[in-house]
Chains A and B, each alone.
Chain A
Amino acid sequence: MKLRFSRKALCIPYAVFLLFFVIVPMLVIVFYAFTDRNNHISFQNFIQFFSDPTKLSTIVYSLVIALITTAVTLLIAYPVSYILARSKIKKKTVLLLLFITPMWINFVLRVNAIRELLNWIGLLGEANYFNTVLGMVYDFLPFMILPLYTTMQKIDNSLYEASADLGGNAVTTFFRITVPLSMPGILSGITMVFLPSMTNYVVSDMLGNSKVTIIGKFIETYFGSDWHMGSMIALFLLIIVFVSTIFTGGFKSEENARGANL
């Protein structure tokens, strides 16, 4: 008997990993979402979820918070990445590192630090929604800067020269070259900021004094009392993730993508 290893055999560990840590848990969520407490198939959770104004409203609130967070993050991150990628500053990696370093510090510690800061300014407990968005923007900024920076850095300098040769001014160059070519970075940045900010309830709990409730908090609460409804909400979010990934082209093996789809 001879054991033959083909290259395909190398992917078995990954397949097993994916099976047990991605596919099976998802199936378990689907199972819980469509069963009742006696483990009978039931659409009760589904109906209750879509007929409960509180849950729908909370989803809307989470969406709005996530939208604002993403927009603000993009507005801050874009110029930063542009300057970092385009400028000829020496040691700009150091500058980039300064923006990225907070990512290496424990998340809860960072949020606690902001909490103390807001307390000192006097905003804590006064402007809960503002604080929540502020915390999320701070938290997710590196996730926006990094993909933007990588895509922008890869834009060929000759394109800018060509644009200048053909009489394009700075504004035209920016909108006709930089923006379209950094689109993959923008999309992956948005994906990485928008979806987590719908569920990142640690921020809303700590900076919004638990008076701001986003949909992630509901999942957490329900998993204390009713796994079935919790799974239903989680499944709904999963579908949102799936749909938005289709929209942002995450499933296409993009020929034009400049390697920034992290």
Chain B
Amino acid sequence: MKWKKFASVALCAALLLPSLAFMSGCGGNETVVLRVFNWEEYIDVGGEGSYGDDYLGLGKNAPSVIDDFEDWYEETYQTPIRVEYSTFGTNEDMYNQLKLGVTFDLVCPSDYMIMKLAAEGMLEPLGEEFFDKSDEHNYYVNNVSAYIQGDKENPGVFDRGTLTVDGEPVSWSDYAAGYMWGTTGFIYNPEKVNFNENATFWDTLLNPDYKNKVTAKDNVRDCYFVGLAIAYQDELLALKERFNSGELTPDEYNGEVTEIMNRTDEETLKKVQKTLVNMKSNLYGFETDSGKQDMVTGKIWINFAWSGDAVYAMDLAEEEGVELNYYVPDECANLFFDGWVMPKGANKEAAQRFINFLSKPENAVRNMYYIGYTSVIAGDEVFAYIEDTYGTDGEEESVPYDLSYFFGENAVINTSSDQLFRQLYAQYPPAEVTPRCAVMDYYGDADREINELWTKVKGETLDGWAIAVICIAVVIIVGAILLSKFGGKIDFFRTKPKKGYELIKQEPYQPKNREEK
């Protein structure tokens, strides 16, 4: 009887639910919902310290980019929209969420994760209408830098991708619209270390002069890259020599470097592991976030960093009256980017409009100001912002800084000479640095082995005999405990009775049960 009642209640509920959903669905003008999944602190959220507060004088009530998007969308397309915005901490977390079936319309993974998602058929390609330059609302194609996304004759970083989807080679730009990009390098304290006078290499991390004064990132990909760069230093420097002598074109040079930095063969893994184990003993530590602060306080002198974090650290240091610089090592550097992709089943139209809104140069500036990373957008507003931030007003010591590779012809800023290795250098590496910046692909089949390598670097490895000895010891201890527990032979807390006396075994006191059954 009970079950019948339960079943009828359940049935009623089941019948009611869809009708409820229907009722809410047809109330007035239909609101579009856009579910966006982005990195933490990776968009201008308005309020104090945002661009709207500092530049436009909107104070604490400065709106977020998302609020503005909702207003803009309704104004432009006469449809209300609501953005459900959520954030993730690592690419792997994001991937797991997608795999668990959480649905999103727009996600912002990094380069290699885009490859992985595309290869697993989880992404929706960008539509043709998105690349239509004649549409004035297509801010992305109209403003993206030629360095990031070019055309057939002059491909950008994004067009060079080596994605394979269903066995077909495709480029990143088919699936992803860029958001932010940057390089990896060293933040260093020029008072303590003499960098970039002649040349600086990744093996600085192994230099005993800087023992306990250098840090690396606590994640497998960044460390694997460093390991590769140190293991193949000679080869990379030979390439650089050939490039400098004019034997290699920038594109050829970049291709060669990219090939080396994507090696995952057996021998390479061995070399990298050896390098990283050596590196570990020289490091102050692996860090994910504390490095910036430790640089400012002077606890460490050299910090492996992403360029965006470097900008943040240098800003922070300036406030504290400390001078920090950033340098991209001479052999090579990792070029990384985060791009917007649409998982299968996404609301393509709204998602592409969101990308376009973010790509409006004034919004790109807002986000850059807030995040510290460099936008892929190269509109006039962005250039004006960079000129405004780093330029000098024709003072005597100013030096020209050529940004034409990114912003197009004649984009040269006059900047003070200390900016040559400061925020400007971190945000837009000079044109001669970019050929040695390589994108690191998804490891594919070698993924598992490289993760194993990482645990070997991070963990401790004892010799076989040591493990054997410990195992035997554990067995003996466990055996002893078992004996004392159940054998009754060994008793730790009772001394033997004197001669002539005997120990009376006493049953422990047991209170009688209240109810006798």
Is A167 located at the chain interface by the 8 A CB criterion? Answer: no
CB distance from B472 to the nearest CB of A (A): 12
Is B447 located at the chain interface by the 8 A CB criterion? Answer: yes
Q: Is the CB of A247 within 8 A of B485?
A: yes
Q: Is the CB of A119 within 8 A of B460?
A: no
- Contacting residues of chain B (449-472) with chain A, CB-CB under 8 angstroms: 451-452, 454-456, 458-462, 464, 466-467, 470
Q: Identify B456's interface contact among A1, A54, A226, CB under 8 A.
A: A54
Q: Is the CB of A3 within 8 A of B2?
A: yes
CB neighbours (8 Å) of B286 from chain A are: 209-211
Is B212 located at the chain interface by the 8 A CB criterion? Answer: yes
Is A126 located at the chain interface by the 8 A CB criterion? Answer: yes
Is A157 located at the chain interface by the 8 A CB criterion? Answer: no
Question: Does more than half of chain A's interface fall in helix, strand or loop, or is it mixed?
Answer: helix
Residue on A with the closest CB to B462? A57
Is B285 located at the chain interface by the 8 A CB criterion? Answer: yes
Q: Is the CB of A55 within 8 A of B455?
A: yes
Q: A209-B286, A211-B285, A255-B508 are in contact. Are A221 and B467 (CB under 8 A)?
A: no
Q: Identify A1's interface contact among B5, B93, B220, B448, CB under 8 A.
A: B5
Per-residue CB proximity of A91-129 to B under 8 Å, as 1/0? 000000000000000000000000000010000111010
**Complex CA–CA separation, A3 to B218 (angstroms):** 59
Is B513 located at the chain interface by the 8 A CB criterion? Answer: no
Is A53 located at the chain interface by the 8 A CB criterion? Answer: yes
Per-residue CB proximity of A167-203 to B under 8 Å, as 1/0? 0000000010001100100000000000000000000
Per-residue CB proximity of B91-116 to A under 8 Å, as 1/0? 01100100000000000000000000
Q: Is the CB of A119 within 8 A of B299?
A: yes
The residue among B290, B448, B458 with the most chain A CB atoms within 10 A of its own CB is B458
Is A19 located at the chain interface by the 8 A CB criterion? Answer: no
Q: Is the CB of B455 within 8 A of A56?
A: no
**Complex CA–CA separation, A11 to B285 (angstroms):** 50
Q: Is the CB of A221 within 8 A of B283?
A: no
**Complex CA–CA separation, A37 to B461 (angstroms):** 27
Q: Is the CB of B284 within 8 A of A125?
A: yes
Q: Is the CB of A1 within 8 A of B1?
A: yes
CB neighbours (8 Å) of B485 from chain A are: 247
CB distance from B479 to the nearest CB of A (A): 12
Q: Is the CB of B455 within 8 A of A247?
A: no
Q: Is the CB of B493 within 8 A of A125?
A: no
Q: Identify A225's interface contact among B92, B218, B508, B509, CB under 8 A.
A: B92
Q: A125-B285, A126-B212, A213-B458 are in contact. Are A60 and B280 (CB under 8 A)?
A: no
Q: A224-B90, A224-B92 are in contact. Are A61 and B460 (CB under 8 A)?
A: yes
Q: Identify A226's interface contact among B212, B448, B462, B467, CB under 8 A.
A: B448
Q: A125-B212, A179-B493, A221-B454 are in contact. Are A210 and B461 (CB under 8 A)?
A: no
CB neighbours (8 Å) of A61 from chain B are: 459-460
Residue on A with the closest CB to B90? A224
Is B510 located at the chain interface by the 8 A CB criterion? Answer: yes
CB distance from B316 to the nearest CB of A (A): 17
Q: Is the CB of A60 within 8 A of B467?
A: yes
Per-residue CB proximity of B420-464 to A under 8 Å, as 1/0? 000000000000000000000000000110011011101111101
Q: Is the CB of B493 within 8 A of A180?
A: yes
Residue on B with the closest CB to A207? B285
- Contacting residues of chain B (264-303) with chain A, CB-CB under 8 angstroms: 280, 283-287, 290, 297, 299
Is B238 located at the chain interface by the 8 A CB criterion? Answer: no
The residue among B93, B218, B280, B510 with the most chain A CB atoms within 10 A of its own CB is B218
Is B32 located at the chain interface by the 8 A CB criterion? Answer: no
Q: A179-B493, A210-B218, A211-B285 are in contact. Are A218 and B459 (CB under 8 A)?
A: yes
**Complex CA–CA separation, A61 to B460 (angstroms):** 8
CB neighbours (8 Å) of A255 from chain B are: 508-510
Residue on A with the closest CB to B493? A180
Q: Is the CB of A210 within 8 A of B464?
A: no
Q: A60-B467, A209-B284, A224-B90 are in contact. Are A55 and B459 (CB under 8 A)?
A: yes
Is A245 located at the chain interface by the 8 A CB criterion? Answer: no
Per-residue CB proximity of A44-60 to B under 8 Å, as 1/0? 00000000111111101
CB neighbours (8 Å) of A224 from chain B are: 90, 92-93
The residue among A208, A210, A218 with the most chain B CB atoms within 10 A of its own CB is A210
Q: Identify A60's interface contact among B2, B96, B220, B462, CB under 8 A.
A: B462
CB neighbours (8 Å) of A206 from chain B are: 290
CB distance from B356 to the nearest CB of A (A): 32
Is A256 located at the chain interface by the 8 A CB criterion? Answer: yes
Q: Identify A58's interface contact among B93, B283, B447, B459, CB under 8 A.
A: B459
CB neighbours (8 Å) of B461 from chain A are: 53-54, 57
Taking A53-B461, A58-B459, A226-B448 as known contacts, 11 extra A-B pairs with beta carbons closer than 8 A to each other, sorted by chain A number, are: A53-B467, A57-B467, A58-B455, A119-B297, A126-B212, A175-B493, A208-B285, A209-B287, A221-B458, A225-B220, A225-B451
- What are 18 contact pairs spanning A and B, CB under 8 A? A54-B460, A55-B459, A56-B467, A57-B461, A57-B466, A125-B299, A211-B286, A213-B460, A221-B454, A221-B455, A221-B458, A224-B90, A224-B93, A225-B92, A225-B220, A227-B96, A247-B481, A255-B508
